[in-house]
Amino acid sequence: MSVTIQQIELYKLSIPLIEPFITSLGTDYDAENVLVRIRTKEGITGFGECSPYMPINGESQDTCMVVGELFARALIGHNALDIEGAVKLMDSIIYANGSIKSAFDIALYDIASQHAGLPLYQFIGGKNDKTIITDYTVSLAEPDVMAAQAVRILAEGYPAIKVKLGKDGKKDVIRIKAIREAVGPEIPLRIDANQGWGVEEAIETLKALSAFDIQHCEEPIARWNYLSLPRVKKESPIPIMADECCGDDHDAERLIALDACDYFNIKLGKSGGIFKALKMARMAEAAGLHLQVGAMIESRLAMTAFAHFALSSPNIVHFDFDTALMLREDPVTGGIVYKANGVVEVPEVVGLGATISEEWLGKWEKVVVA
């Protein structure tokens, strides 16, 4: 069976954030994403989206548009159901660039699952048998400001608070102390240093933070220094989650061999999409590692793909899907629904189940390849 790609459109999806989002890597004021729409001769249309971030995946909205056009020209006439072939083709055209590859990958999975008459999660072998509940993130700031953010998140009913750290380990301890005192002892705290600490600083800081009941720590040291991550894991009283150093399945294989972490944080924008992320999940299952599915600053469209993927493995136990709630506008029709207390409801319709209307698409700069 063949479903032939006839036309591909790329759009600059740009939406301001409600307030600046601050990490140790920088400050974001807008979601500057790329939307991919793939049309087939058979009338099936698939949507995909990515949120490139230069400090993490080395891509920007502009580079994604340029590279995406190269992919589009190569994929015209390709069988949209041959996702593995499309992934190999994109990899042969350019190294890395996982963000824009993920947008194409998601759109292809949307088409393939529609063609199969199945919800995306079911098409990839998943079951809608668990409740997805997102945490909510406190941006990096002064301790009193972060504590106030945490109190607001607690009041909104989220079951866990994620805290951005990585700017001076000693001050990070003060930040967490202020937050824990403000929110009390019950709600779980998760921390993300975004590569901000040195090795010795990380070990010292993690030991100091153990008094505050921290659930896990994402990426404590520089991604390139992954050979030191096993030592950090061994000496840390807090479980370690690999994020930036765990991009695709090759990275996952290496980290497992090194016994470098307790968790992976899988992001489709790092893995290059669902195809490679599924390989990572199977590796984690075999190694007995639990997983988080995370996000950059995608809209609900890509976030819906993340939620479908999150149903693909019982080892996926944490969900970081809050950033779509940080956008000033929501251009998405259908898709996941954010319920009370952080609960995320996945659509029970065929395919991805999320689209963007022509009215919204008409507002954005685009490239069409046919």
Q: Which of 49, 59, 172, 218 is catalytic?
A: 218
Residue 267 appears among annotated catalytic residues: yes
Q: Which of 32, 105, 162, 164 is catalytic?
A: 164
Please give the Cα distance from 167 to 25 (Å, whole number). Answer: 9
SS (H, E, C) the chain: CCCEEEEEEEEEEEEEEEEEEEECCEEEEEEEEEEEEEEECCCCEEEEEECCCHHHHCCCHHHHHHHHHHHHHHHCCCECCCHHHHHHHHHHHCCCCHHHHHHHHHHHHHHHHHHHCCEHHHHCCCCCCCCEECCEEECCCCHHHHHHHHHHHHHCCCCCEEEECCCCHHHHHHHHHHHHHHHCCCCCEEEECCCCCCHHHHHHHHHHHHHHCEEEEECCCCHHHHHHHHHHHHHCCCCEEECCCCCCHHHHHHHHHHCCCCEEEECHHHHCCHHHHHHHHHHHHHHCCEEEECCCCCCHHHHHHHHHHHCCCCCEEEECCCHHHHECCCCEEECCEECHHHEEECCCCCECCEEECHHHHCCCCEEEEC
Residue 135 appears among annotated catalytic residues: no
Residue 177 appears among annotated catalytic residues: no
Residue 164 appears among annotated catalytic residues: yes
Burial 195-220 (b: 16+ CB within 10 A, else e): bbbebebbbbbbebbeebebbbbbbb
Q: Which of 172, 192, 219, 248 is catalytic?
A: 192
Q: Which of 267, 298, 320, 322 is catalytic?
A: 267
Residue 218 appears among annotated catalytic residues: yes
Q: Which of 172, 243, 251, 322 is catalytic?
A: 243
Do 162 and 190 contact (CB within 8 A), yes or no?
A: yes
Q: Which residues are catalytic?
A: 164, 192, 218, 243, 267
